[in-house]
Structures are given as structure tokens and as C-alpha cells.
Structure 1
């Protein structure tokens, strides 16, 4: 179709297919919600696009860090991208509603097509592209399916003949996220195999497949050559711990075991011991006063110690996730004082210039007042 001057009138889809520059959250952090899709009774997928004609470039398995304005408070959360980079005009995040969860409930109840959110990224090292192999075993539990789904979708879109066994654990058949799509992928590709296991029946379906929790005999039935595969695991912390122990006890080469989780709220026993050892050998030096303006808590922070670590030692709980300066969850306003900040991309330079910092890697160089 052409206008009066003979110029072609382009459909919006045609304009999208022309491509464009790669989206960069550093220069434009606004994403627009294009659609919301129900995956299960308590899981939704949110499809997001840049507000300008940009495309996304990322590795399957990476995540974005979002800033949500909820009841006047900026809350940061990490969500893995569930879409595939082979479809670069949209990214999707797939979120389970968590009872009492401020962000998941807000997303389910309020994020609608046309609404905007802020995000930076993509980030993260949990990707099959970092560990190329001919044969993979993906093990997911609950909403931990998202990074593995991104990897599976990528290989499927590219018609890559990788031998993939995808195992997903769910509470019931009604809770199997992406079930229809995974079953379709298995029908269409001889090199892709999908197996689900459920703890119980659902109201509308009596489950006839694998039942209970993942065991070694089950794994042998699902993939009898699992010892030769590159294994990626994502899910709730207890699920990943059980899988890790099962593989290690069976003699699996754990250098080919890779896991991802954003639940870093509790230090492991080894990490706690490391903190105690660091405290024992820490030389006496300067100790700075750190005041949290909202809670009116005051702590001491020794020179060279990140504010987040000092707060934990003092029993002050602060929002955090990766603890490595990567995700941005602990981003806070520095009301006064100065810090040494070495991060891994979880904060923009313009935010630093505006007085923001990451508490997990901010080491005081003076007394501080932090807006927390």
C-alpha cells in the first residue's frame, strides 16, 4: 500500500523487523508493558519492549534488575528473562504471585499493557552459552524454570540439534509452567525431551507421570546418560541444595554443575565462618558511624568493610540479593558522607552522581547517613 506520493506505508510490525540499535538501560531505562499472559493460576508472564525502536541483546539465562514504584517507595528486584534472544523486540519476565510479596502482587494486580517500568541489565553469568556442550540436562523447580526456558527456547528457535533433557518439578499438574510449550517442543524436536514430576494431583487432573521429589532412580529413567551432560539447575534453595547433594553423592563432576538463585538473604554456614574469621584478624583501624535515617538505627562500620556486611553483623536487615554489586537490590540514597564504591554494573553512573550507592560494596571513607 502507498500514499499519494507513492511512498510505502509501513505497518508497525515492518518497522520492528527493520531492527535498530540495541537497548541500553544506562541511557534509557524505561520499558513498556505490551502484554500480560496467564501461565498458571498464580503465574503471569509480562512482555516488555523499549519505548524507542531498539532491540534486546542478551545471553539466555541472564536477568534484569527492575525498579518499581510501589506506594511511593522504590523497590528493586531481579527477574530472569524467560524469553529468548532470538526474538529481540521483546523481553518477558514470568512471575509467580507470592502471598504477602509486595512486588509479585503489585505486578499481578497493577502492571497492565501501556504501563512502564524501569530496568537495567541484562546481567548474570548463568547461561548455557558460557558452558557450551552437545548434551544438557536442565533441572528446574517452580518459578526457577525461567532461565532454563530462555535457554531451551533459544536452541529451539535456532533449530540447534543439542541433546536436551528438561526436567521440571511442580506441586501439581496445574502448576507446571510453560507445560504446553514444552510438550510441543518435545513433539517437534527429536533431540529435546521433557519430563515433569508432581507432588500431588490437581483438582482437574490426576497426575500419571513421575510423582514426588526428584531421586537418582528417577533421573536414571529420565536421562540414563546424565553423568555425561552439562547440568543447569534453578529453583527454590531447598530444591537446589537437594539436587546438589544428590549429584555430588553420585560422583558427578561438579565442575559441570551450574545453579542460579537470587535468594541470598541468608549467609551460608561457610560464609558466616568467613565473616567471623575476618572479624578475628581484622586490624584495628578507623571505625565510621553509619546512621540509617528512616529507621534511626546507628551502627559502627570498620574501615574497609562494606556497609551491608557491617549492618548484618549488627543485626540490621537491609534489602539485598547478590551481595556483589551486580543486581542493584541494595541501592540506597547516601544523604551525607563518602564511600569507596567498586561495583559490577548494578548502578548507573548518573545514579552515583545523584548520590545513590550500593550498600553491598560501599566502604565508608567518612561517617555516613543512609536513607534507609
Structure 2
């Protein structure tokens, strides 16, 4: 028995293909709602304590992400932990993603990757997601300032712009402990040599023993910044690095009279190990005057949760210190199981629809709408 295929049937197939496949290759797009496994294809040693991990999907997939976005990895440490790492690869090379990870003393996630991730190993992920991004091919003057592993989002933006052969007016300043600690140093120097509109500057805390060093030495200062980027006040500035470094950059720019409306920074360290800390919360909007009871089933703690209070805040008031990082529903680190009750979750992309359907919540951006039980 044959089946007649109508024009409408063909049109439906064509519409699906146009939505889910690239025009040139017909390779399916990576779908964060469905695809969740990456395979490590290569590991590169960048510095003595930094490695880059190159991943692709099990089957060919095209990754669509904005330079500066991140992915969240489920790592088999202490049962299972969630860690988010910025994609350091160019968004113009869509068949792979890369993360660049620095060893952190006492950091279980980063150290597990550096000690255990090898080509052929698989890892579950969510994303890409994140809001820290810009388009370096646009007609605007940009200044990237980074320190340590904070270079990764800037590297993705720079690689993307150079792959598209269109960095229009980009200055890049990076601070490191020593010349040997500069991640991507040789690649950045090559990109600067190939792209006249790309100006690169390095400064190192110490250069003792590096006789051929021709860059700056010492902590980034206003005088140094003026030499590296004389027209920095006319630029849009993106900054990423340790919290104290970014605080220092902010203070320096404010002292100079820079318009801080043109300053943007990565607001948290994706690799941070934050259990046991009490960061300031971004409170959810008040949705009710009602106080609800929150029961944490693993510990047996019961607390009252007031209007606008997130479950993460309630947990910390109870003395429970769950892993959390972004506190904006982006990274997925605080993902937990809702056992019972109604909640309101205002997330930023750190959780899949199917996980929500399974009762998962991000406790950093979820407020109770009734008495609830959470598997914590």
C-alpha cells in the first residue's frame, strides 16, 4: 500500500528543516531543551594551572550562542555538583564549544575537570545561557579589561570578531601574575598582529626572571590605563575578573570621571565555590503579604518565608548552605527538587522546560506561593 504525499506534507517538512537545520550543511541545531550531553574531544594545556576542554555533541550539532555566554556542567563530585563555565570558543565556529578552566585551591568542580576530564569522556550540560555579551563587529569603540581566568568571555568575543574579520575598534587589557600566567597570550598577540583595529596590552604583577618582557608591570592603575587606551573615556568597557579586581577597576574609572553607564561587568564568578557563604540577595518582587512555611525534607528544618523572600534566603536563614552562584536563575547551580506546594520562579534560562515539568526549581529565584517542601 502506498501513501500519497501532499504539497502540505512537503511544506511541513521543509518548514521544520528550515527551523532546525543550517542551510549549508543540514546539520541539526543544538537544542538546549533536548540535547544535554557533550563529549570531550581535546584537552589543551594553556598554562601550568589552566586547561582548555574542547567539546562537541555525540552526533553532529551546530551550537548557537552569543560570545560571552556560559554552559552549566553536571560534575560527579560529592554525588553531583553543578558548575557554570564561560564558553571561550568563537561563536563563528559552531560545531564545537570550549571552556577554559583554572585550578582553584579547594574548588571541587574546577579541580575535577583538570584532573579527570579526558578525550572521549561525556558530561551532562545545560545551556548556553547568559547576558554578558557584546558584538565587537559593530561600529562602536570597545575596551575589554580582564584578569586571570576572567579572560574567557573576552576571548570568545575577540575570537568571534576576528573570525568575522571585523573588529572595528577594540582595545584589550589583561592583567596576570606573571607573563607565564597569561592565558591565550600567543594567540592574542597573533590576532593583534593580524588585525590593525585590535590593540592589545598586558600587565603583570611581577616580571622578575622574564628578561624579554616588554609589557607593563604592576597593578593596573589610572596612569597605566591612560597609556594603554588613551581614549578609554570614549569607549564602552566590559570587565571580568576576580571581585577585588573589578572593584578596583570601578573605583579607578569613577575617579577618572568615566561615564559608568558605559561600564559592564560579569557580575559573578561562574567557577566560584559558594557553599557556606552569604552573598547579598537580589530580592524577588513582593507578590503577597502572606507568610508561607518552607520545609527542607533532608534536614528537617522548617522556616517561615516572608513576602518576596526566595527559597535560597529561607534556607540560609535556617542554617542550610546549599550551593549557589549567580542568584539570578542563570547558572543552574542551585537546582533542587520541589516535593510539594506552589511556587513562582523567575529564572534567567538556567533550567530546562522538561526539568520544570519534573518539579525542579532554581531556589535562588523562586518564591513560595503556598506552604512548600523542598528536597534539601
TM-score by length of 2: 0.85
Aligned-partner SS, 2:67 = coil
> Could you give the per-residue CA deviations for residues 66-116 of structure 1, whole angstroms, max 9, x where no partner exists?
222224x22111111100111111110000010110101110111111111
* 2:162 paired with 1:160: no
Counterpart-to-counterpart distance in 2, 1:180 and 1:243? 25
Alignment-derived partner of residue 83 in structure 1 = 89
Output the CA distance in 2 between the equivalents of 1:47 and 1:120. Answer: 16
| Count of residues in Structure 1 that have an aligned counterpart in Structure 2 | 348
Q: Is 1:49–2:56 an aligned residue pair? A: yes
Distance 1:335 1:284 in 2: 22
2:288 and 2:308 in contact (8 A); partners too: no
**1:1-372 correspondence runs (5 A):** 18=25, 20-71=27-78, 73-129=79-135, 132-201=138-207, 207-263=213-269, 285-372=289-376
SS where residue 246 of structure 1 aligns? helix
User: Residue 60 of structure 1: CA displacement?
Assistant: 0.9
Query: Structure 1 residues 228, 304: CA separation in 2 closer, same or farther (over 3 Å shift)?
Result: closer
Q: Secondary structure at the match of 1:128?
A: coil
CA distance in 1, matches of 2:312, 2:368: 11
Q: Which stretch shows the higher mean deviation, 315-324 or 188-197? A: 315-324
SS in 1 for 2:135: helix
Could you tell me how far 1:208 is from its partner in structure 2?
4.3
Instruction: Tell me if structure 1 keeps the 8 A contact 2:136–2:168.
Output: no
Deviations 1:306-363 (A, max 9, x none): 2112233444322212222222111012233332323222111211222211111222
What secondary structure sits across from 1:134 in the alignment?
coil
SS in 1 for 2:131: coil
Aligned-residue offset at 1:237:
0.5
Aligned-pair distance for 1:133? 4.1
Aligned-residue RMSD, C-alpha: 2.6
Does the 8 A contact of 2:136 with 2:157 survive in 1? no
Contact 2:207 2:217 in 1 (8 A): no
CA contact (8 A) 2:238 2:264 kept: yes
Equivalents in 1 of 2:349, 2:229: separation in Å?
Answer: 38
For the residue of structure 1 that corresponds to 2:33, the secondary structure is coil
Q: Distance in 1 between matches of 2:183 and 2:371?
A: 48
Please give the per-residue CA displacement for 1:142-162, whole angstroms capped at 9, x wherever unaligned.
Answer: 000000001111111111141
Partner SS, residue 360 of structure 1: helix
Say if 2:75 and 2:82, in contact at 8 Å, map to a contact too. Answer: yes
1:198, 1:207 within 8 Å by CA — same for their partners in 2?
no
Structure 2: gaps of 5 or more residues: 1-23
C-alpha deviation, 1:211, in angstroms:
1.1
Q: 1:103 to 1:41 in 2, by over 3 A?
A: same
The verdict on how the C-alpha distance between 1:244 and 1:83 changes in structure 2, with shifts beyond 3 A counting, is: same
Deviation, structure 1 residue 205: 5.9
> CA separation of 1:135/1:342 partners in 2, compared to 1, >3 Å: closer, same or farther?
closer
For residues 237 and 299 of structure 1, the distance between their equivalents in structure 2, rounded to whole angstroms, comes to 32
Give the deviation of 1:121 after TM superposition. 1.6
Identify if the C-alpha distance between structure 1 residues 160 and 312 changes in structure 2 by more than 3 Å, giving closer, same or farther. Answer: same
